[in-house]
Chains A and B, each alone.
Chain A
Amino acid sequence: MKALRNLLDKVQPNFEKGGKLEKFHAAYNAIETFLFVPNHTTHGGVHIRDAVDLKRTMFTVIIALLPTLVFGIWNIGYQHYLAFGIESSHAENLLFGLIKIAPLLIVSYGAGLGVEILFAQMRGHAVNEGYLVTGMLIPLTLPVTTPLWMVALASIFCVVLGKEVFGGTGMNFMNPALLARAFLFFAFPAYLSGEVWVDLTPEAGRALVDGYSGATSLAVVDANFTATPSPWDMFMGFEKGSIGETSTLMALIGAAYLIYTGVGSWRIILSVFLGGYLMGLFMNVLAPADAPTHIMHAPAYYHLIMGGFAFGAVYMATDPVSAAQTETGKWIYGFLIGAFTVTLRVFNPAYPEGMMLSILFFNVFAPLIDHFVVQRNINKRLKRALQ
């Protein structure tokens, strides 16, 4: 650490005003603040600078994502060996997953941070830490088989059109990582739906097991909800799906950490689950009697453990920038996301995973929800004052 500090101090004058590499000040600044706590102090007027800055917030989310990431890596290996009917140890699963996922992560960070640094250079401001989380979330929402150039394209798209256009981190009205996924979903539908969820690199001398199907539980549940993996498997995450979405348990561990540190809003997480559950119950009431395996008959809790529901509720819906800001607004926002997700899953088979679209949809509505909450409060208080 000391040597690193000395090295940075040694090259620093080059990046100061008048130095040889003045143009690359933003890049230097990005690397320095990434490695060390910046020694900025406030000046001019009364300020309080909290120790929890943007960087620490982002790192908290990264730590909360670790269980999901590790489980995702393990599951990719597990699903791969399962498809070929090979007995594999945990270490083999992890190793296989790591080999497959590391390139996705590297490309996502490389492309996204590259664009981010480019914009910082051009606009002369410091690089923000916002992409730390986005860059991790993007691969976690994708199938492991996504070609790398698509990941790069989506990262660039979400940084430029999701964030920098509106003024950078903190100004985006939609969740950038989900925007990247939505971009890929509509641009290359063949690579994000169907049987793309398991890496089927051939194993020497082995064929796929008989009756192998690469469909996710979300695709299966539409016709026959009893054909899905057992609820326990879906809760634990032993199923096919995007890298990070399968395990509800790991998302809940992440949620506990986010709530404990105060970074994620428990109101949003709880109300998303609540909205999904109540909507699931409502679907049970409406379910047609002549089709006993129809998705509408699925127990309401199925919706909470299938697909990316938990992942979206914990890591995506709670994005502090694009979510509703008022406390009442958070309840409404979360509840609508959950309810809308289940509605989409049930009534629109073309979009089996409703979580992505409904979060993006209510990201757009969040300011409106806040507006009405604030307005209601103003009216209430005015009424009280005028009595």
Chain B
Amino acid sequence: MSAEVNAPVKQAAPKEALFSKKNRKALFDPLDDNNPISVQVLGICSALAVTVQVKPAIIMALGVMLVTAFSNLIVASIRDRIPGRIRIIVQLVVVATLVTLVDQVLKAYMYDVSKKLSVFVGLIITNCIVMGRLEAYAMSQKPWPSFLDGIGNGLGYGAILVFVSMIREIFGSGTLLGFKVVPQFLYDMGYVNNGLMMLPPAALFIIGCFIWWQRSRNPKLINVS
């Protein structure tokens, strides 16, 4: 993560501190208080689809983080020049370009993962998080905070994805990142992998339980509905 945060430091010409309170909020809020999946309830579809195993989930999370961060950055930089009536189209062009880049890179360097993610990389375009953050944040904020907001939302999304996929992979196939973690003697004693975890509804149950736990723990979320 540090490499990505450091890169734009040169470009930004900040009047306020680089990591002022507001910027820190933009970066870290999406991790918990304003998590894109569990609080904003965006991007659920891909969270159900790509979380059967941890590896594709991590790649997917990275892809979404890059796309949200850079589309936020680009749209925020040109936000004053975008005519209001065609802004969605302009945003889509930016997002589609970035998604195509991610897709091509995956196809070139990680073909097997790319096949596993299949259509869901292309569908980052329609991932509600990307458009949601563009509309809700980048259209009205400076580039640097927008970039941080994109990174933060990508991380928040990724955190849930990795959490869900870890549970699903451990209980569904007894492995973690492809390595066996459930010891053989448990199988010998009669333990069986849980087939429900391989089906998309399992992700719904896990995310639901996560939201339950999060809201019971975080007093800020109690009145959010």
When C-beta atoms are compared, the residue in chain A nearest to B191 turns out to be A149
Q: Does A189 contact B (CB under 8 A)?
A: yes
Instruction: Report which of B196, B208, B212 forms a contact with A187, defined as CB distance below 8 A.
Output: B196
Question: For B190, what are the chain A residues with a Cβ–Cβ distance below 8 Å?
Answer: 147, 149
When C-beta atoms are compared, the residue in chain A nearest to B189 turns out to be A149
What is the minimal beta-carbon distance from B32 to any residue of chain A, in angstroms?
22
Residue pair B212, A186 in contact (C-beta under 8 Å): no
Q: Does B106 contact A (CB under 8 A)?
A: no
Question: For B197, what are the chain A residues with a Cβ–Cβ distance below 8 Å?
Answer: 187
What is the minimal beta-carbon distance from B215 to any residue of chain A, in angstroms?
12
Q: Contact string, A174-190, partner B, CB cutoff 8 A, digits 1/0? A: 00000000010011111
Question: From residue 122 to 163 of chain A, which have CB atoms closer than 8 A to chain B?
Answer: 147, 149-150, 161
A147–B186 CA distance with the chains assembled, in angstroms: 14
**With contact pairs A161-B205, A165-B212 given, residues A186 and B199 touching in the complex (Cβ less than 8 Å):** yes
What is the minimal beta-carbon distance from B212 to any residue of chain A, in angstroms?
7
**With contact pairs A147-B190, A149-B190, A165-B212 given, residues A186 and B205 touching in the complex (Cβ less than 8 Å):** no
Q: Does B110 contact A (CB under 8 A)?
A: no
Overall SS of chain A's interface: helix
A147–B191 CA distance with the chains assembled, in angstroms: 9
Q: Does B123 contact A (CB under 8 A)?
A: no
Residue pair A188, B195 in contact (C-beta under 8 Å): yes
Q: Does A191 contact B (CB under 8 A)?
A: yes
What is the minimal beta-carbon distance from A15 to any residue of chain B, in angstroms?
26
Residue pair B195, A189 in contact (C-beta under 8 Å): yes
When C-beta atoms are compared, the residue in chain B nearest to A188 turns out to be B192
Question: For B126, what are the chain A residues with a Cβ–Cβ distance below 8 Å?
Answer: none
When C-beta atoms are compared, the residue in chain A nearest to B199 turns out to be A186
Residue pair B195, A187 in contact (C-beta under 8 Å): yes
Q: Contact string, A185-208, partner B, CB cutoff 8 A, digits 1/0? A: 011111100000000000000000
Residue pair A183, B196 in contact (C-beta under 8 Å): yes
Question: For B208, what are the chain A residues with a Cβ–Cβ distance below 8 Å?
Answer: 161, 165
Q: Does B194 contact A (CB under 8 A)?
A: yes
Question: For A190, what are the chain B residues with a Cβ–Cβ distance below 8 Å?
Answer: 192
Question: For A187, what are the chain B residues with a Cβ–Cβ distance below 8 Å?
Answer: 194-197
A190–B194 CA distance with the chains assembled, in angstroms: 11
Question: For A191, what are the chain B residues with a Cβ–Cβ distance below 8 Å?
Answer: 192
Question: For A183, what are the chain B residues with a Cβ–Cβ distance below 8 Å?
Answer: 196
Question: For A161, what are the chain B residues with a Cβ–Cβ distance below 8 Å?
Answer: 205, 208-209
What is the minimal beta-carbon distance from A191 to any residue of chain B, in angstroms?
7
Q: Contact string, A115-127, partner B, CB cutoff 8 A, digits 1/0? A: 0000000000000
When C-beta atoms are compared, the residue in chain B nearest to A187 turns out to be B196
Some 19 contacts from A to B, beta carbons below 8 A apart, are: A149-B190, A149-B191, A161-B205, A161-B208, A161-B209, A165-B212, A183-B196, A186-B195, A186-B196, A186-B199, A186-B201, A187-B195, A187-B196, A187-B197, A188-B192, A188-B194, A188-B195, A189-B195, A190-B192
With contacts A149-B190, A161-B209, A186-B199 known, what are 7 further pairs, Cβ within 8 A?
A161-B205, A165-B212, A186-B196, A187-B194, A187-B196, A190-B192, A191-B192
In the A-B complex, list the 8 residue pairs whose CB atoms are closest, starting with the nearest.
Answer: A187-B196, A186-B196, A187-B194, A187-B195, A188-B192, A147-B190, A189-B195, A188-B195
B: residues with CB less than 8 A from A are 190-192, 194-197, 199, 201, 205, 208-209, 212
